[in-house]
Amino acid sequence: MSDFKHTPEQARSALVTALRSGDYKQAEGQLRRGDRFCCLGVACDLFAKLEETGHWDPEDEEIFRTADGGWGDALLPDTVRRWLNFRTVNGELFSDETSLAGMNDRGASFADLAKVIEQGQANA
C-alpha cells in the first residue's frame, strides 16, 4: 500500500502538465526563488497541492518541508522523490545523464524537461 494519494505515474503526469502549463516561471539553482521555480520546485509545489501535505517554509521560501521532517532547498526532499519514483533527489529518471536539476540549471526549458520526464516514464 502506498503512503501517497497519487501513484508515481499520476504524479509525473501532473508534473509534465504543470511544466507545460505556463503557470510557473523558471528559476535555476534553488527549488524556488520568489515567484520562480526550478522543475523540482514545481514538483514540490504540486506535492503540497495534490498530496495536501508539505509546505514552503514561511521564514525561508526557498526551503520546502515535508511532514516527516524532510526538507530541500536545491534538491528534492526524499518524500517527494519517492512520490515521483525518481532514482535520486536531483531528479535522475533512468540514467546519470538525465538529472532534471542539472538540465534545468544548464538552461533546458520546462517544455524540454517535460519531454525528458515522459521519456523516463516510458523507460521506467
Q: How many CA atoms lie within 13 A of 11 on its CB side?
A: 25
99 lies in which domain range?
Answer: 8-119
User: Is residue 88 in a domain?
Assistant: yes
User: Is residue 17 in a domain?
Assistant: yes
Query: What total of structural domains would you count in the chain?
Result: 1
Rounded CA separation 24/57 (Å): 19
User: Is residue 2 in a domain?
Assistant: no
Residue whose C-alpha is closest to residue 43's, from 1, 13, 5, 3? 13
User: Is residue 43 in a domain?
Assistant: yes
85-110 pLDDT per residue, tens? 998 999 987 666 669 999 999 999 99
Quote the pLDDT of residue 1: 46
Tell me: pLDDT of 26 over 60: yes
User: Is residue 72 in a domain?
Assistant: yes
User: Is residue 1 in a domain?
Assistant: no
Quote the pLDDT of residue 123: 52
